[in-house]
Amino acid sequence: MVALLEGGGYADQVVVRETQTLPVPDGVGLVEAAALPEAACTAWTNLVDTGRLRRGETLLVQGGSGGVGSLAVQLGAALGARVVATAGGPERAARCRELGAGVVVDHRSEDVVAAVRQATDGRGADIVLDVLGGGGLQDNVRLLAPGGRLVVIGLQQGRTGELDLARLMAKRATVTGTTLRSRTAQEKAEIVAAVGRHVWPMVADGRLRPVVHARVPLDEAQTAHDLLESGEVFGKVLLVP
């Protein structure tokens, strides 16, 4: 059994509503499966419920190498989107390609706006799934296609930014954001159920895999934090007993 927790996951035992649990998907071990619930629920609800991603659309995943991003790249591809991702450095970019991104822009060495525009024949992305927040706002709006949706899920570059409303209006675009943690129990139950119905079969048939960078013993949790701060992690770090 795996669960979407309210928080407090650094524990040997947790209490969780049954509606926020799912069986371990077929083909995946119990420990590996721990990489899935939060990332899959975040990717699913933001791409499908909020972003209204449709087959054939272009999805830009800002941070395709992250715990959420590496799942979102795979999910976008499995849902029939054309996936463009950003990643820091050529090795991380190559791994995003292996996960299903057709185009990957190295944000450390390339001009992301120019590269994404070039990759989309100047049109931009129908959905941008963003972990940058305020610091990425202007570029993300520039990168939206007509009718595009910017879905902010992270604030790694701050909580405020300048929004060019004229650009937004001209594109008939939407800027929105969500957090999983603030949802009601009912909403979490619906997201978890949808993930069980739609995403778990993709895991079982191999279209989507948990991306685990390292397993670290729970009593060495600081090592896991140091790893995350090193910028080298691709996917998830798991704390194990």
Ligand X SMILES: NC(=O)c1ccc[n+]([C@@H]2O[C@H](COP(=O)([O-])OP(=O)(O)OC[C@H]3O[C@@H](n4cnc5c(N)ncnc54)[C@H](OP(=O)(O)O)[C@@H]3O)[C@@H](O)[C@H]2O)c1
Q: Are strands 144-152 and 82-87 parallel, antiparallel or unpaired?
A: unpaired
Residues 126-165 that bind ligand X (CB under 6 A): 131-132, 153-154, 156
Partnered with residue 214 across adjacent β-strands are 237
Residue nearer to ligand X on the CB measure, 77 or 211: 211
Helices (H), the chain: 30-33, 37-44, 67-78, 90-99, 112-119, 137-142, 165-171, 185-194, 200-204, 221-230
* In the complex, minimum distance from the CB of residue 193 to ligand X, in angstroms, rounded to a whole number: 17
Q: Which strand ranges, in their side-by-side order, compose the sheet holding 144-152?
A: 103-106, 82-87, 58-61, 125-130, 144-152, 174-177
**CB 146, min distance to ligand X, A:** 24
Query: What is the C-alpha to C-alpha distance for residues 135 and 157, in angstroms, rounded to an integer?
Result: 5
Under the binding rule (CB under 6 A), the answer on residue 178 touching ligand X is yes
Q: Evaluate whether 140 touches 150 at the Cβ level (below 8 Å).
A: yes
Subset of residues 218 to 237 that bind ligand X, contact rule: CB under 6 A: 228, 231, 233
CB of 98 to ligand X, least distance (A): 14
Contacts of ligand X in 52-111 (CB under 6 A): 62-63, 65-69, 86-88, 92, 107
Evaluate whether 47 touches 79 at the Cβ level (below 8 Å).
yes
Q: How far is the CB of 197 from ligand X (least distance, A)?
A: 20
Q: How many angstroms separate the CA atoms of 22 and 24, rounded? A: 6
Q: How many residues bind ligand X (CB under 6 A)?
A: 25
- Binding marks (x or -) toward ligand X, 9..48, rule CB under 6 A? -----------------------------x---x------
Binding site for ligand X (CB under 6 A): 38, 42, 62-63, 65-69, 86-88, 92, 107, 131-132, 153-154, 156, 178-180, 228, 231, 233
